[in-house]
Amino acid sequence: MEQQLDSATLGMWVFLLTEIMFFGGMFGAYTVYRNLYPDAFASTSKHMNAFYGGLNTLVLIVSSLTMAMAVRSARVGAQKALQIFLILTIFFGLCFLGVKGFEYHEHWVEQTVPFWNWDAHYFGEPQFAQQAQILFCFYFFMTGFHALHMVVGVGLMLVIYFMARANKFNPGYYTPVEISGLYWHFVDIVWIFLFPLLYLIGLSKHV
Amino acid sequence: MSHPITPVRTYVTIWVILTVMTITTYLVAQIDLGPFNTVVALMIAFFKMSLVVMFFMEVRRERPLTKVFVFAGFFFLLILLGLTMGDYVSRGWQALGSMW
């Protein structure tokens, strides 16, 4: 049994490596363009809502704590606690997506959505109007794919919750809880990097 | 891996540190440190990531083989970012040299 959990964990990490490279490609492209247009990126970043971004970071970190607690509960065989922590994790995951929805709506109203709803006149810095679209493309692609991963994560947690309710887990077998937990923490880590790179780069710059 | 069960206190401590670091990164971003804003932000993010990987994902208690795989992930990411940027940065030098 123990070896099964080890193998599953290793397999999950192999999957997470592919995910690291998937997001890594976007982070790489971001680095290249930020290097090309540092001032435009700093100036445009001020149009991101750093409060919502920071709030979402805190929400995700709490959800990571409840996830770690859920895995721990499964290990010690605390069935009720496992279910409660899974529900909490799902709740915080949905909070994150809700705040994200508000943010996207704000960008739509402010017409800062490249291709679909873009108004260059909105920017006080017309010289950056072109490059600003590049940062917003990165913003929507990266946070969009991250949000997609969150939706998948919430779905996973629902499955795990119903499995937990059906008493599928015990201290000798809780592999699904453990490896979905790894996925959840990975998605949290992606956000830990997205937050400073998208929201915070312009706060101190006067360009 | 059958490792000892981590006490709740450890998880809560890690969570508190992560929360404090999030607020720190937000506050530091308000101060103009020139190019070091990015350096500090990335260092804090890297530190937070290490805590999540080591404690929440329990990699510190995994088998050596799993650790190697985790390390390989970051190593390949480093190759991806390093070689890409190496290319772009050195092209910049070339352009500068041709001006002379």
For the stretch A38-60, pLDDT in tens is 888 988 888 899 999 999 999 99
Name the closest residue on chain A to residue B34, using Cα atoms: A205
Is A44 part of a structural domain of the chain? yes
pLDDT digit string, tens, across residues A61-98: 999 999 999 999 999 999 999 999 999 999 999 999 99
Range of the domain at A147: 2-199
Contact by Cβ (8 Å): A188, A29 = no
Low-confidence ranges of chain A (pLDDT < 50): none
What is the pLDDT, as a whole number, of residue B100? 44
Is A207 part of a structural domain of the chain? no
DSSP 8-class letter at A170: B
Q: Do A32 and B85 touch (CB under 8 A)?
A: yes
Q: Which residues pair with A45 in a beta bridge?
A: none
Geometric angle at alpha carbon A68, from A163 and B29, rounded to 5°: 135
Q: Which of A139, A109, A116, A112 is nearest to A124 (CA)?
A: A112
In angstroms, the separation between the Cα of residue A132 and the nearest Cα of chain B is 19
Q: Which of residues 16-75 of A touch B (CB under 8 A)?
A: 16-17, 20-21, 24-25, 27-28, 31-32, 35, 50, 54, 57-58, 61-62, 64-65, 67-69, 72, 75
Count: domains in chain A: 1
Element (H, E) at A113: strand A112-113
What is the pLDDT, as a whole number, of residue A123? 66
- Mean pLDDT in chain A? 92
Q: Is B75 on the interface with A (CB under 8 A)?
A: no
Q: Do A50 and B73 touch (CB under 8 A)?
A: no
Contact by Cβ (8 Å): A139, A198 = yes
Candidates A89, A200, A201, A205, partner chain B, best to mutate (most B CBs within 10 A): A200
Looking from the CA of A201 toward its CB, the CA atoms found within 13 Å total 24
DSSP string, A23-85: HHHHHHHHHHHHHH-HHHHHHHHTTS-HHHHHHHHHHHHHHHHHHHHHHHHHHHT-HHHHHHH
Is A205 part of a structural domain of the chain? no
Q: For residue A113, which phi and psi values (nearest 5 degrees)?
A: -110, 105
Is A192 part of a structural domain of the chain? yes
What CATH number does the domain containing A18 carry? Answer: 1.20.120.80
pTM attached to this predicted model: 0.92
Q: Which of B60, B30, B55 is nearest to A189 (CA)?
A: B55
Q: Which residues pair with A182 in a beta bridge?
A: none
Chain B residues within an 8 Å CB radius of A84: none
Q: What is the C-alpha separation between A127 and A66, in angstroms, rounded?
A: 46
Q: Which residues pair with B4 in a beta bridge?
A: none
Measure the N-to-C terminal CA separation of chain A; round to a whole number of Å.
59
Map out the domains of chain B as residue ranges: 1-62, 63-100
- Helices (H), ranges, A110-174: 129-165
